[in-house]
């Protein structure tokens, strides 16, 4: 009886094992069926998305063509306006030459008038000498006739004329003061233009300093991204090597292969992470081009499919799993040692990334997040506990996430600053070239990501060189404006000197007029006793006519000076109006470029969506491979 009981016990154990294996096979078949259904659904979604994106791409291409035609029309209008402005400049130059000729003719007329006045003064001096000679003869007659003339003769008309002349002289002096005030206003405007020019030069120096700082910042970020990519490629190579060994190194029956597949997968009960290969591919797929997308967050760049989570294992230690693997599948000791080495390397990498994140957080002045204790190195497979490798991989994912997010944020800020400088300069051709370079920076499908990164860095260096060339062009333009302002200042100084010379001439002529009046008064006093009433009236008429002629001549000179000042004011107003028109055209070009930027950003979003679709196809191909594996195991 005891012998029969002992014989029945192993048979029950064998039946239990067979039932357990049947349940495992049924579970695997159900999982494969679910994956196939999910794959079909994803394929249908992919086809619909591809159709929608093709329609959107066609619409955007049509909009781009329309905007290109609009840009060509605007360029043609700009060239026409430039030609018209050049014609206006040539016309103004001709007018200026005509005015200069008129000024030279006026100067010649003034010289002739001065010569005539000198001759007249000489003639008057001769007359004075002759009158002095006649004085001795007429003294007796003047004393006799002076009493009679003082009683009979009164000269109210001459006094009224003299008062009118004094009033006109005062009016001319007021006009002179007004002209001097206008000259003072023009000098103040010149000083304000000089101050604005100095401010623009200081701003250019500040932009150069910011450009140098951004270049240094770009180099540092490029080195950090390159180091992170090298570490990521090394880890990916090690993970691929381990996956190849686990998939091709076993020679047992199909049930042992299924056990290896199930033991290589692990998740939490909350379904947080996905398969490690999907995460590594999502991390390596990040490029600086995708980092420039300002409207996309980091969660859109790294995606994990929660639906593809594998089956969780029972709560047991990692040592028991690997002991079962070693006993049932005859794994070599070298493979276990290699797993321990990979675990130690992951621990060191996590510690290094953790210290870098803490150092960056301290330097930025932000709060340092606590990411967990530092894992100790293990010497054997028995030291690795259950869930420890999974938590280490999750921590590594979070650290790489932080590194790439910080690099992305810095590159986005650099892109925004570069774009702001281009939009401030208002150069349409440079901005279009900038977008063409960004569009041409996409690498071919057969090239590696490292070559793509090197190409993008060189393109950014070329962009910085173009900005430097553009800055030199702005400097030359500013120097040209400064030379124009100096030329205008010289012209204003010349006009001011001419006005001052004419004012001096007017003062001299007024003094000569006063002297002549005094001399005429003295002659009249002397001649009153000698001449008769008719002769005195005739002499007064002659003096009045001479005074009127001198007054008319002075009014002509003042009118000519006033016309010259008005022409200078008109030239300044024309220059200001031209500057306002150029600023309005610049604003219009900036609005057009904002529309172009929107189109380019939409195009870039579509390209990023295409990249994401390609990544999803890669993931689906991996899911198909796993489903084919389960179907093979089922059959």
DSSP string, 559-587: HHHHHHHHHHHHHHHHHHHHHHHHHHHHH
pTM for this predicted structure: 0.25
How many beta carbons lie within 10 A of that of residue 381, not counting itself?
20
Q: Provide the pLDDT for residue 256.
A: 38
Mean pLDDT of 548-563: 76
Q: Residue 49 has which token pair?
A: 């998305």
Chain mean position to CA 11: 82
Q: Which has the closest alpha carbon to 566: 175, 192, 113? A: 175
Q: Provide the pLDDT for residue 392.
A: 75
From its phi and psi, is residue 271 left (phi > 0), alpha (psi between -120 and 50) or beta? Answer: left
**pLDDT range class, residue 415, cuts 50, 70, 90:** low
Q: Is the pLDDT of residue 399 over 50?
A: yes
* Placement of tokens 């060339």 in the chain: 469
Length of the chain (residues): 635
Report DSSP state, residue 381. Answer: G
- Alpha-carbon distance 328 to 335, whole Å? 15
Q: Provide the pLDDT for residue 267.
A: 35
Mean pLDDT of 353-380: 62
Q: Which has the closest alpha carbon to 331: 428, 234, 395, 257? A: 257
Q: Which residue has the higher pLDDT, 478 or 392?
A: 392
Q: Is the pLDDT of residue 230 over 60?
A: yes
- Alpha-carbon distance 205 to 497, whole Å? 37
Mean pLDDT of 615-632: 71
How many beta carbons lie within 10 A of that of residue 615, not counting itself?
15
Q: Provide the pLDDT for residue 185.
A: 78
Q: Phi then psi for 194, rounded to 5 degrees? A: -65, -40
- Alpha-carbon distance 341 to 185, whole Å? 83
Residues 6 or more apart whose Cβ sits within 8 Å of residue 355: none
Decide: residue 404, CB within 10 A, 0-12 exposed, 13-18 middle, 19+ buried: buried
What b/e string do you get for 409-440 counting C-beta neighbours within 10 Å, with b at 16 or more?
ebbbebbeebbebbeebebbebbeebbeebee
Q: Is the pLDDT of residue 1 over 50?
A: no
Say what percent of the chain tops pLDDT 90: 0
Q: Provide the pLDDT for residue 129.
A: 74
Q: Are 529 and 142 in contact (CB under 8 A)?
A: yes
Report DSSP state, residue 302. Answer: S
Mean pLDDT of 33-61: 87
Q: Which residue has the higher pLDDT, 457 or 565?
A: 565
Q: Provide the pLDDT for residue 459.
A: 63
Mean pLDDT of 158-176: 73
* Placement of tokens 């004419």 in the chain: 502
Q: Is the pLDDT of residue 492 over 70?
A: no
Q: Which has the closest alpha carbon to 350: 282, 387, 398? A: 398
Mean pLDDT across the chain, nearest whole number?
Answer: 67
How many beta carbons lie within 10 A of that of residue 95, not counting itself?
13
Q: Provide the pLDDT for residue 408.
A: 63
Q: Provide the pLDDT for residue 466.
A: 65
**pLDDT range class, residue 178, cuts 50, 70, 90:** confident
**pLDDT range class, residue 442, cuts 50, 70, 90:** very low
Q: Is the pLDDT of residue 22 over 80?
A: yes
Rg (CA), the chain: 50
Q: Are 230 and 449 in contact (CB under 8 A)?
A: no
Residues 6 or more apart whose Cβ sits within 8 Å of residue 303: 282, 612, 615
The listed range with the strongest mean pLDDT (289-293, 459-463, 599-603) is 599-603
- Alpha-carbon distance 70 to 66, whole Å? 6
- Alpha-carbon distance 494 to 564, whole Å? 12
Residue 556's alpha-carbon distances to 509, 561, 562, in angstroms, are 13, 9, 10
Q: Is the pLDDT of residue 318 over 80?
A: no
């Amino acid at each position: 009886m005891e012998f029969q009981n002992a014989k029945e016990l192993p048979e029950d154990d064998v039946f239990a094992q067979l039932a357990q294996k049947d349940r495992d096979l049924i579970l695997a078949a159900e999982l494969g069926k679910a994956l196939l259904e999910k794959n079909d659904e994803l394929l249908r979604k992919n086809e619909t998305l591809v159709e929608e994106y093709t329609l959107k791409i066609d619409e955007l291409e049509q909009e781009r063509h329309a905007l290109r035609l609009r840009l060509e029309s605007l360029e043609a209008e700009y060239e026409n306006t430039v030609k018209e402005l050049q014609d206006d400049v040539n016309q103004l130059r001709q007018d200026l030459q005509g005015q200069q000729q008129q000024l030279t003719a006026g100067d010649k007329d003034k010289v002739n008038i001065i010569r005539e006045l000198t001759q007249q003064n000489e003639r008057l001096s001769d007359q004075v000498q002759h009158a002095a000679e006649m004085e001795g003869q007429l003294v007796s007659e003047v004393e006799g006739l002076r009493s009679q003339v003082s009683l009979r003769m009164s000269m109210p008309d001459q006094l009224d004329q003299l008062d009118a002349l004094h009033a006109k002289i005062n009016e001319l002096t007021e006009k002179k003061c007004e002209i001097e005030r206008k000259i003072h206003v023009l000098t103040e405007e010149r000083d304000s233009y000089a101050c604005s020019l100095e401010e623009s030069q200081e701003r250019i120096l500040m932009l150069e300093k910011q450009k140098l700082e951004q270049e240094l910042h770009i180099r540092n970020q490029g080195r950090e991204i390159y180091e992170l990519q090298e570490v990521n490629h090394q880890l990916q190579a090690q993970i691929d090597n381990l996956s190849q060994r686990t998939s091709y190194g076993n020679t047992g029956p199909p049930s042992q292969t299924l056990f290896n597949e199930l033991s290589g997968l692990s998740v939490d009960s909350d379904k947080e992470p996905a398969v490690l290969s999907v995460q590594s591919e999502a991390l390596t797929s990040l490029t600086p081009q995708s980092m420039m997308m300002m409207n996309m967050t980091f969660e859109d760049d790294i995606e994990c499919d929660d639906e593809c989570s594998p089956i969780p294992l029972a709560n047991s230690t990692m040592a028991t799993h690997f002991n079962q693997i070693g006993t049932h599948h005859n794994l070599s000791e070298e493979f276990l040692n290699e797993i321990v080495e990979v675990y130690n390397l992951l621990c060191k990498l996590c510690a290094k990334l953790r210290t870098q994140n803490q150092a960056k957080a301290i330097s930025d002045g932000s709060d340092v997040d606590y990411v967990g204790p530092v894992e100790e190195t293990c010497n054997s497979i028995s030291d690795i506990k259950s869930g420890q490798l999974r938590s280490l991989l999750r921590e590594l994912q979070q650290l790489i996430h932080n590194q790439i997010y910080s690099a992305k944020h810095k590159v986005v800020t650099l892109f925004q600053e570069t774009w702001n400088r281009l939009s401030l300069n208002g150069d349409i051709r440079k901005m279009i070239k900038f977008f063409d370079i960004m569009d041409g920076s996409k690498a071919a499908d057969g090239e590696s990501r490292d070559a793509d990164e090197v190409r993008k860095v060189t393109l950014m260096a070329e962009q910085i060189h173009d900005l430097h060339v553009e800055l030199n062009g702005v400097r030359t333009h500013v120097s040209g404006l400064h030379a124009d302002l100096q030329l205008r200042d010289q012209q204003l100084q010349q006009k001011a000197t001419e006005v001052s010379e004419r004012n001096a001439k007017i003062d001299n002529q007024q003094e000569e007029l006063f002297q002549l009046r005094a001399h005429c008064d003295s002659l009249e006093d002397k001649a009153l006793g000698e001449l008769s009433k008719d002769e005195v009236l005739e002499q007064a008429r002659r003096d009045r006519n001479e005074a009127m002629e001198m007054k008319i001549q002075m009014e002509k000179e003042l009118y000519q000076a006033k016309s010259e000042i008005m022409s200078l004011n008109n030239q300044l107003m024309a220059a200001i109006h031209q500057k306002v028109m150029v600023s309005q055209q610049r604003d219009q070009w900036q609005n057009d470029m904002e529309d172009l930027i929107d189109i380019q950003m939409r195009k870039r979003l579509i390209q990023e969506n295409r990249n994401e679709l390609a990544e999803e196809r890669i993931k689906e191909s991996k899911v198909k491979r796993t489903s084919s594996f389960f179907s093979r195991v089922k059959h």
